Amino acid sequence: MAIADTLESTTPSDSSLSDLDATRFLRRRPTSATTAGTESDTIFRPDIRGTHTSPPDHAAVNGLSPAKRFQEDNDRNDAVENPNLIETEKVSGEMAESRGEANSDVSAVKFAYRPSAPAHRRVKESPLSSDAIFRQSHAGLFNLCIVVLVAVNSRLIIENLMKYGLLIQTGFWFSSRSLRDWPLLMCCLSLPVFPLSAFLVEKLASQKDISEPVIIFLHVIITTTAVLYPVFMILRFDSAVLSGVTLMLFACIVWLKLVSYAHTNHDMRKISRSFDQGDVLPSSLDPEDPHNVSFKSLVYFMLAPTLCYQPSYPRTAHIRKGWVVRQFIKLIIFTGVMGFIIEQYINPIVKNSQHPLKGNLLYATERILKLSVPNLYVWLCMFYCFFHLWLNILAELLCFGDREFYKDWWNAKTVEEYWRMWNMPVHKWMVRHIYFPCLRNGIPKGVAVVIAFLVSAVFHELCIAVPCHMFKLWAFIGIMFQVPLVLITNYLQNMFQNSMVGNMIFWFIFSILGQPMSVLLYYHDLMNRKGID
């Protein structure tokens, strides 16, 4: 009723609409309304007085059609009131090309809002129907979700503060002996020795001073020592958890880079020998020196945000200093948010919970569900801080061009898609140095996938168990459990053939059954070991 009243109040009445007023009203109407009126005008056409007439072929009176009569009257009225109006219309080009069309449109305007005008003209879908949902903008619903999240989490923050008070402490992140963790600091500073050793081996190999079996043996010794040396240092000195995690992450990155460096140079030597035998050299290599061992390229590779070695990388033209400063500020803010959530929410939940595998099943389920929300927030903050902010900052400072550090993993329909998209540096390394070498050696695809997950599981366990001084194998089991989950989610996706169903299954497994359970297991055992409970 409100819409109808508005239309009636804005549309001139039939009794008061003169020829001149009708033309002026038409000028104020939008093109869409005029077009709609033109479509309805094919049904029947009212004259300017508001009475229905016959079709146009029955309209001639005294040798003039109603359109002609209306045109002459309209021209006279326009000329009397505003002699320059017609000329202005011709210059602007906004009116119809002929007076006959203008007359027809004026009649259509009067007809458009009558009760007899058709309200339904074509087939349309509801905005939320499956055929039209992805063609609509959902910005309003997104804003609603943001408002709901802010409201719900604000309540949780207030409730948590009222119940526990402010729990931000430094004991978990940096213990009283953190500043005395100099053995771990020295170990971290000594890690560049291993890339330097690998470079010396490759330099000797390029000069053909050592044989290929010796080269492989030396690289195995270097890469293995690069991991075992930090493990020994962390287990030898009872340091803070964060210090141990940081050192293990650096050690694992060095190991992955050294493996890629050795594997790539080994393959380049094979290509160089093939070139010497008359084979065609790939365009990616220098024809004058197909196997060029450069110390500068190694240093850049060890600093660059990639795990796959190659002699050169795509580069950007310059460094955006202001952009880097803004990203650093974001990094500091989101790191603080992540620490606040851990200290204020995750710690109390774990401290007030029983071991999930030793207590009541219903109680353990409630704890996992309660932990899933703050754990998901922490994980998202970690992803944003490391994969988006830190890696992009590093790439900008080094002018590293390829910044596809992740894909749209949040749209993953299966667990397999998630693992292929969320961590692109590791995924590219796995494909390049594990998966394809297995296939080239005749290993079936399924076994190659299991081997890739096995390597990932070992390093996940090292990065968590060693700093915590606990070898429970929860991380190892959690990663290897992804293999049957890949098969299950692929089967469900093929069965439902619906991306939304697969994506919801992925989020359910990822947010509730996966990480919260692992975090609760490790975190609870860590607190028990420290005597916090």
The number of domains in the chain is 3
Gap between the Cα atoms of 252 and 182, Å rounded:
20
Q: Between 55 and 405, where is the model more confident? A: 405
- Please report whether residue 119 resides in a domain: no
Residue 460 a catalytic site member: yes
* 14-28, 70-84, 228-242, 257-271, range with the lowest pLDDT: 14-28
Other C-beta atoms lying within 10 Å of the C-beta of residue 447: 11
Residues 525 and 422 in one domain: yes
Residues 347 and 428 in one domain: no
pLDDT band at 186 (very low <50, low <70, confident <90, very high): confident
pLDDT at 6: 40
Q: Which long-range contacts (CB under 8 A, 24 or more apart) does 283-292 make?
A: 284/310, 285/311, 286/311, 291/206, 291/265, 292/206
Q: Between 226 and 207, where is the model more confident? A: 226
Phi (first) and psi of residue 332, to 5 degrees: -65, -45
Mean pLDDT of 461-475: 83
- Please report whether residue 148 resides in a domain: no
pLDDT at 124: 80
Asked if residue 20 has pLDDT above 60, the reply is no
Q: Read off the pLDDT of residues 309-340 as tens digits, 9 standing for 90 and up.
A: 998 899 998 999 999 999 999 999 998 888 88
Mean pLDDT of 443-460: 91
- Residue ending a domain, among 303, 335, 363, is 303
Query: How large is the greatest C-alpha to C-alpha distance in the chain, in angstroms?
Result: 113
Quote the tokens at residue 504.
């919801």
Mean pLDDT of 459-487: 85
Residues 381 and 445 in one domain: no
DSSP 123-163: ----TTSTTTGGGS--HHHHHHHHHHHHHHHHHHHHHHHHH
pLDDT band at 243 (very low <50, low <70, confident <90, very high): confident
Residues 445 and 521 in one domain: yes
Q: Is 402 exposed, middle or buried (0-12, 13-18, 19+ CB in 10 A)?
A: middle
Residues 401 and 437 in one domain: no
Asked if residue 250 has pLDDT above 90, the reply is yes
Output the average pLDDT for the chain. Answer: 75
pLDDT at 355: 63
Q: Read off the pLDDT of residues 24-80 as tens digits, 9 standing for 90 and up.
A: 444 444 444 444 444 434 333 444 334 444 444 444 444 444 444 545 554 554 444
* 7-16, 179-188, 359-368, range with the lowest pLDDT: 7-16
Residues 415 and 511 in one domain: yes
- Residue ending a domain, among 381, 405, 429, is 405
Gap between the Cα atoms of 154 and 144, Å rounded:
15
Mean pLDDT of 154-166: 77
- Please report whether residue 258 resides in a domain: yes
Residues 394 and 475 in one domain: no
Gap between the Cα atoms of 218 and 212, Å rounded:
10
pLDDT at 392: 94
pLDDT band at 252 (very low <50, low <70, confident <90, very high): very high
Q: Is the dihedral of CA 305, 394, 411, 375 positive or negative?
A: positive
Closest CA to 130 of 398, 498, 403: 498
Quote the tokens at residue 317.
């033209």
pLDDT at 223: 94
- Please report whether residue 247 resides in a domain: yes
Q: Please, are residues 38 and 108 in contact by the beta-carbon 8 Å criterion?
A: yes
- Please report whether residue 87 resides in a domain: no
Asked if residue 131 has pLDDT above 50, the reply is yes
- Please report whether residue 436 resides in a domain: yes
- Please report whether residue 273 resides in a domain: yes
Residues 298 and 327 in one domain: no
pLDDT at 143: 83
pLDDT at 179: 58
Q: Is 500 exposed, middle or buried (0-12, 13-18, 19+ CB in 10 A)?
A: exposed
- % of the chain with per-residue pLDDT over 90: 25
Q: Please, are residues 405 and 394 in contact by the beta-carbon 8 Å criterion?
A: no
Residues 388 and 424 in one domain: no
Residues 416 and 526 in one domain: yes
Mean pLDDT of 123-130: 78
Q: What is the domain extent for residue 351?
A: 317-405
pLDDT at 185: 84
- Please report whether residue 361 resides in a domain: yes
- Residue ending a domain, among 355, 390, 405, is 405
Q: Read off the pLDDT of residues 288-297 as tens digits, 9 standing for 90 and up.
A: 445 678 899 9
Q: Please, are residues 418 and 346 in contact by the beta-carbon 8 Å criterion?
A: no
Residues 347 and 413 in one domain: no
Asked if residue 357 has pLDDT above 70, the reply is no
Mean pLDDT of 107-115: 67
Asked if residue 496 has pLDDT above 50, the reply is yes
pLDDT at 112: 66
The one catalytic residue in 219, 263, 427, 460 is 460
Residues 490 and 455 in one domain: yes
